[in-house]
């Protein structure tokens, strides 16, 4: 399959990689938020937010890996990257992290949906496995939290190794991917917890996350400004790459998709909507969609503009 057709010429890493970066970021970000809250609040119950995050993380990382495999030159030989490792390679280290992370997201789903599994006769076969894993639930959740942050950062480290492209060859990129992943993961988890698992729109957990959205957004903006300023004040190649922010189709994507939809959208919805429940509910979902869409635009911008403006 020729994934670059119709989008760009000479792009080594096309849109399936951007989708993978997007899905992996949401997966890791959702679990970082849910597990951090679980440890901070010393929770022992399976809250709607925990259920939503566990489900989202498993589904999105599975779909992300599918995109990654399909983009390989020979998809049927994907198993080779699971067998042969180079411990000096960022990609190999990422594969090791993913090999531990993906099964753990499945385990967290077992924890989260234990009561639901008990209610379905055909799934009773899973109950002995859940019972066996219960005594080590806390350590596994802590390990998953660490790996979730690693997966978010790894997606940034993976493409920042492309030294010919100043826009993405920066140490700030992994930190930006963590912040944007947490932001989008939190938005997705909140929406699913309310829509599917009937979380109260005004619960203490959602209010806490709503308050954390703004520092996270400010952090994202600062990281983007740092990348832009390092290009604008850098050498000739870096200054050429700064054009990604000022002209062309990718600049339009950045200013409309990332800034307009991803940043200004939630801000305007927060301050411009009424305070009735119906208005706040609409703003809640629309704001979440804006955050997630902005994060996807950011991944596309970083990947495509980064490869377009090379040295």
Give the number of other Cβ atoms within 10 Å of residue 185's Cβ: 29
The CATH code of the domain that includes 178 is 1.20.1630.10
Nearest to 16, CA basis, from 26, 29, 27, 5 = 5
| C-beta separation of 59 from 213 below 8 A | no
Give 182-233 pLDDT, tens digit per residue.
999 999 999 999 999 999 888 888 888 888 888 999 999 999 999 999 999 9
Residue 10 lies in a domain: no
What pLDDT is stored for residue 245 in this prediction?
Answer: 94
What pLDDT is stored for residue 47 in this prediction?
Answer: 92
What pLDDT is stored for residue 61 in this prediction?
Answer: 94
Residue 156 lies in a domain: yes
14: left (phi over 0), alpha (psi -120 to 50) or beta: beta
- Axis crossing angle, helix 90-112 with helix 48-70, rounded to the nearest 10: 140
Nearest to 108, CA basis, from 32, 57, 39, 172 = 57
Distance CA 51, CA 111 (A): 9
Residue 9 lies in a domain: no
Within the chain, which residues score under 70 in pLDDT? 1-10, 71-91, 272-279, 311
**Lookup result for tokens 């490869």:** 307
Counting the structural domains of the chain, the total is 1
Distance CA 73, CA 10 (A): 15
| C-beta separation of 8 from 309 below 8 A | no
Distance CA 105, CA 99 (A): 11
13: left (phi over 0), alpha (psi -120 to 50) or beta: beta
What pLDDT is stored for residue 274 in this prediction?
Answer: 52
Residue 3 lies in a domain: no
Whole domain around residue 105: which residue ranges?
Answer: 15-308
| C-beta separation of 57 from 31 below 8 A | yes
Residue 208 lies in a domain: yes
Residue 2 lies in a domain: no
Nearest to 15, CA basis, from 289, 237, 253, 186 = 253
What pLDDT is stored for residue 73 in this prediction?
Answer: 59
Question: What percent of the chain shows pLDDT beyond 70?
Answer: 87
Residue 254 lies in a domain: yes
């Amino acid at each position: 399959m020729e994934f670059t057709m119709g989008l760009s010429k000479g792009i080594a890493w096309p849109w399936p990689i951007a989708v993978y970066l997007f899905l992996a970021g949401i997966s890791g970000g959702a679990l970082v938020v849910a597990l951090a809250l679980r440890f901070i609040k010393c929770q022992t119950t399976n809250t709607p937010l925990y259920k939503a995050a566990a489900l989202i993380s498993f589904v999105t990382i599975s779909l992300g890996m599918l995109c990654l495999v399909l983009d390989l030159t020979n998809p049927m030989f994907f198993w080779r990257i699971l067998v042969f490792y180079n411990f000096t390679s960022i990609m190999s280290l990422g594969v090791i992290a993913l090999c531990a992370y993906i099964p753990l997201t499945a385990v967290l789903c077992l924890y989260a949906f234990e009561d639901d599994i008990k209610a379905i006769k055909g799934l009773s076969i899973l109950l002995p496995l859940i019972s066996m894993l219960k005594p080590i639930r806390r350590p596994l959740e802590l390990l998953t939290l660490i790996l979730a942050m690693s997966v978010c950062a790894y997606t940034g480290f993976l493409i920042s190794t492309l030294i010919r492209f100043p826009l993405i060859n920066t140490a700030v990129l992994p930190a930006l991917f963590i912040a944007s992943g947490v932001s989008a993961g939190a938005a997705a988890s909140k929406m699913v917890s309310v829509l599917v698992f009937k979380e109260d729109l005004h619960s203490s957990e959602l209010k806490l996350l709503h308050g954390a959205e703004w520092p996270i957004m400010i952090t994202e903006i600062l990281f983007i400004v740092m990348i832009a300023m390092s290009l604008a004040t850098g050498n000739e190649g870096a200054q050429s790459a700064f054009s990604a922010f000022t002209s062309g189709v990718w600049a339009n994507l950045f200013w409309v998709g990332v800034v307009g939809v991803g940043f200004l959208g939630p801000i305007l919805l927060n301050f411009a909507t009424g305070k009735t429940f119906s208005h706040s509910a609409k703003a809640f979902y629309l704001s979440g969609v804006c955050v997630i869409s902005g994060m996807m635009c950011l991944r596309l911008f970083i990947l495509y503009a980064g490869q377009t403006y090379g040295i």
